[in-house]
Every structure is written in structure tokens, then in C-alpha cells.
Chains A and B, each alone.
Chain A
Amino acid sequence: MKNKRGGSTDGRKIEAPGSYPFTRGIHPRMYLKRPWTIRQFAGFGTADETNERFKLLLKEGNLGLSVAFDMPTLMGLDSDAPNAEGEVGRCGVAIDSLKDVERLFRGIPLDRISTSMTINGPAIILFALYLAYAKKQGVSFRRLRGTLQNDILKEYIAQREWIFPPKPSLKLVVDVIEYCTRRVPQWNTVSISGYHIREAGSTAAQELAFTLADGMTYVEECLKRGLAIDAFAPRLSFFFNAHLNFLEEVAKFRAARRIWAKKMKNQYGARNKKSWLLRFHTQTAGCTLTRQQPENNIIRTAYEALSAVFGGTQSLHTNSMDEQLALPTEKAVRIALRTQQILRHEIGVTQAADPFGGSFVVEALTDELEEQAERFFRQIRKIGGVVAGIEKGFFQKEIAKSARRYQREIEQKKSIIVGVNAYLLEEEVPIPTLKIGSETERRQIRNLRQIRKTRNGRRVTLVLDRIRSAAEKGENVMEALIEAAEAYATLGEMVDALKSVYGTYRQRVFL
């Protein structure tokens, strides 16, 4: 393969894969050295049910687990909270206390696997629960590997799963980063996410720019805390969307790597090469799945996945064809997994790093996306940064505008979506979908009440007081949260303790 040495296009020198600014990939040999990790997101019902699913995945050779939490957990509520009714264990696993974490990972040695946790508002608490369980298993924190999504900025910008206002939320993100830098060095502290920004309707350029702007905000907050750039930057990771416009998506991943490397080196003075590398997970675009002729979604997902692979992703989740209808069936999940296995083994895409390097169109698109991102960075700086932009509704309005344009183009048939505005069937052929019962909620609440009855109540009061006092003094709350987790304080109780100091965030509707 020639691309090890680089080459030139349009009279301009292009660098080799694995060299600064890493447009062409973070390793010189990319997938020849190590293929991307197939990381499928899963979770449902109680911790026991998800534990069984995890064990099955591990038996099939999966080394990475990826936990999906239910809505009440994502919002920091206990399963018996009044507004949790009807949502317990529905779109993920319900976690109320250390007891559930013990059940979730029973029989799974935490030093042998890596765990990805998709959680944001209460991320620091779920991480404290995980650490408390590692302690119980006797696993040294230094051996723990995994990723905490812990990206609160994109929640205000796009996905809207928040608890506290932006400023204390950012402080909690930095608490996690600071703690990991000292104690859990192999943990990816934040997964800075464009996925949800794109799903909310942004363009590729907006996804790229807003995500990297969020990343730079976290970097600046850490620097304000007094952390050295090279102490924490190598453990920041990213998460992007793979949408339909194939060449633009490949260019987006390339531009992301290049911009981040330049910023880290030139703007923030990072010296460690690992600080310059933008490592990322990709998920195919859920918003491109259609309800009409759902089998076609298999094909869409495969092409989207291919763009992520050509873009040099480190790990990948492929969606199931029926997710516009219900939670996926086992068969749909298997096809999604097989899609990646076919990509990896059958079509030879692992043989060359960045095969589009030097392509006139892709290089031009990469440059153009970089320029567009820079324009957004200047605009964001002008309005006072990311938090000010959130408060003014800048991102929300920008994304809503793009979402409306996207929809209008479909309505006017300027964009053709097969099965939606062209090539329709007279009558749709239904496919079988998954059904979930309501037994989970009752069982989860019963377990939670049992814990509240049997734990040492005096100790719980004490540890919750410690959380409040650490928060009031502006100290890092990580240690206090781990202690509370060990005392079987519940998620809701810990969130309430923090809320009493930080307050809550209220949505403003920008229409």
C-alpha cells in the first residue's frame, strides 16, 4: 500500500496516515494493526435481565460492553419517583443503587472488560456506583477501562437530558476528569458527542463544529481547574454520527481529526502526541431509518457504516432496521451485527488506511468542512462561548432551522428518500416487532424499597450530608459520591443532595 508514504494532490503535499495533523487516521496502518471495535449498545428491563444479555455477548467474543440506561436513570430519578411511572426499564436498564450495579455485572470481572456507559446528567453518580462496585470486586481503579459519555453540553444543545444548570454541570464533568487523571488513568472521561446534535437535525458542518466547540470548552474548564493539558487530553474521546451523504461523512471524520490535532497542539500547547489524537466512536444515523419498507434500513445502515470505516472510526454501532417501529427484535439486532462482520471480513476495507486520501473531491470537502467549522468557532466566540450560546438558544435555533430545511427538501422531493417520497408500495408489509411487558417496573420498585428498608439509614444521612457539604464548598464531589454509593444511597437521593446546592435547569422553548 502506497499510502504509508503519502502523496500529493493538486500540487499539494498530503501527509501519511498516522502523522500530524492526522487527517488520514491516528495509526500509520489503521485497521491492519487493529480493526475497529464492534460495540453494540444494549440494555433493557432489570439489571438481572441485562446481565444475562451481557454474558451472552461476552461468550460470543465481545470484549466491550455498552450499557443503555432507562429514562428515569438518565434523568437521575429513582424507579419509584412519580414521574418515572411507565418508563422503568423501557428503553434501557433501570439502576437505583449499588445493588443494581452488583446485579448488572455479576460474574463479570471488571478488569477483564471495557465498559461504555451512555449517561450524562447524573454521569458522575453512575461512575461512582461503578467504582464502588470495582472496590467490592477488589479490582484496582488503575486497571479499569471504559468510557463515560459525560457530555452535558450536547444535552442542552440537542438531546435535552439534563438535571442541573450548565455551570455546575460543567463543574461535575471536570470533577470526573480530575479524579480519573489521578486515580483511573485508563478511563475515557468524556465522549464528546456530535451524534445527538446530528440526530436533532443539524448539518454535517454543524455537527462537526458544535462537537469540537464543546470539546474545547471542556479543555478550557480543565485548564481553569489547574490540570495540565497532557495529563487529561489523551483520555478525551469523541462520538459521531454516520449519516447518508457518503462522501461528506468521510470528509467530516477526516476534518474532525485534523482540526482537533491543530487546536490541541497550537491553541492549547499540548506536547504529548496522544493529546493530539481525536479517537472516536460512530453510530449510524437513527434519524435516517424509515418506517416505510423497513428492510431498506439494512442497506442504509450498511452504507453509513462504510463511511465511518473509510473515515477511520475506532468503534462502531450499527442500528437495527426496525428501530422506527419499536425496540429492535433479536433478529434485527443480529442483522445489524452481521452488517459489521461482513464489512470487516468480506469486503477488504481493512487493507488500506484512508483510501480516499488524495481524492480530489474528498480532500476538497475536508477542507471546506474545516473552513465552515472555523467560521462557526468564530461565531461562537463572538456570542461569548458555548454556555452563553446555549443560554441564548443559538445552537437550538441553528439546529431547528437545519431540521426544518431537511424536512422541507424531502417534502418538495429535492431529496429523495426511497419508500418515503419515491418508490412507495401500495400497501406496506408489516414486520414482527418486539413487545415489552410492565412486570419490570413492579419488580424494580419492590427491590428498591427492600434496599431502603435494610440499609443503615444513619450512615446514608451522613454520606448525603457529606455530598452537600462538598458541593457547597466547591470541592471535587467524586469521593463523597463513591462513599454514598457504598452506603447504598440511591441515585435519586444523591441527585437530590446535589440539586439542593446546584438547583435545576429549566428548558426555554425556542420556536
Chain B
Amino acid sequence: MKKRKKIILAKPGLDGHDRGIQIVASALKEAGMDVVYLGLQQSPETIVETAVREKADVIAISVLTGSHLSVFGKIMEGLKKRGRTDILVTGGGIIPDEDQKKLNRLGVGKLFGPGTPLEEIVSYLESWKAPSP
């Protein structure tokens, strides 16, 4: 049997606008994935630690305040330190295209802006496979 994908969702930073991430969390659950939503004000360190401890396949975060470059950067660094670059880091929010490209170069996966159909996010995560070590 295929193992259910485990997704860690979190909102880093101080912002509390969580309508988007809550909707995405329920859609992923409905699609049969194993979803853990950590809630608000999660530090990049906690997110990385939890993902490693919980044996997650994917980290997905939501950032709407403009602090995406530093937050994603810290998560990528944390995963590298632990040798866990096989975990997919993805997310969404108000992230300008230019910055999305910068983040993709750091190894961050696809990023989803407002108005993205849920189906697109679900199928992206369903079809994603960790690189073989």
C-alpha cells in the first residue's frame, strides 16, 4: 500500500491571517493526506524540528507580511543542517514573482498565490516524489 503523505503546515512570523492556510489544510485532509497544522507564530526552527521528528514529507507555510525571503531561507538552512533536503518546502501568500524565482533557486518548491484552485495544490503534492537519496 502506498504510504499517506505527511504534510506539516504552519504560519511563521507574527501575522494571524490564517484563512488561506486553514482552507488548504482542510483540502489536503479531504484529499486523504496526513495533515498537521501547527498554528500561528511558529519559528522556522520549530517548523524544521517538528517536520523531522514527525517524519513529514512536506513543509508548507503561509506568509503574507513580506518576510518570506528570510523565513523560507531559514527553513531551507535548517533542513540542510540536518541533512534533510529531501523534505519538500512549499507554501503560499503574498510573494512577488521575482522573489518566488529567488526562492525556487534556493530549492523551495512551487509557491501558490491568492486565487489558486485547491485542486492545483492537491495535485502538486500528490504527484510530488522525494528525490531518491
Contact = CB atoms under 8 A, between A and B. Distances in A.
Interface of A: 71-72, 74-75, 77, 83-87, 90-91, 155, 159-161, 199-201, 287, 289-292, 324-327, 400, 403-404, 407, 411, 417, 420-421, 430, 433, 436, 507, 509, 511
26 contacts: A71-B15, A75-B14, A77-B14, A85-B70, A155-B16, A161-B16, A199-B19, A200-B19, A201-B19, A201-B23, A290-B114, A324-B94, A324-B114, A324-B115, A325-B96, A326-B66, A326-B94, A400-B22, A404-B23, A407-B118, A411-B117, A417-B115, A430-B97, A507-B39, A509-B37, A511-B29
A287 B66 contact: no
B97 to A, nearest CB: 7
Sorting the interface of chain B by its residue count into under 10, 10 to 19, 20 to 34 or 35 or more gives 20 to 34
B96 A404 contact: no
B65 interface: yes
Given A326-B94, A404-B26, A433-B96, A84 B115 contact: no
Contacts of B117: 411, 421
A83 B43 contact: yes
B113 to A, nearest CB: 5
B102 interface: no
Contacts of A87: 13-14, 65, 67
Contacts of A91: 65-66
A160 B29 CA distance: 23
A206 to B, nearest CB: 13
Contact of B67 (A90, A161, A407, A433): A90
B56 interface: no
A159 B14 contact: no
Interface of B: 13-19, 22-23, 25-26, 29, 37, 39-41, 43, 65-67, 70-71, 94, 96-97, 113-115, 117-119
Per DSSP, are chain A's interface residues mostly helix, strand or loop, or mixed? loop
B37 A86 contact: no
A407 B26 CA distance: 11
Quick one: which of B14, B17, B70, B96 has the most chain A CB within 10 A? B14
Contact of A86 (B13, B23, B29): B13
A325 B94 contact: yes
A159 B114 CA distance: 18
A34 B124 CA distance: 54
A9 B78 CA distance: 67
A-B CB proximity, top 6 nearest: A160-B16, A71-B14, A86-B67, A86-B70, A291-B113, A420-B115
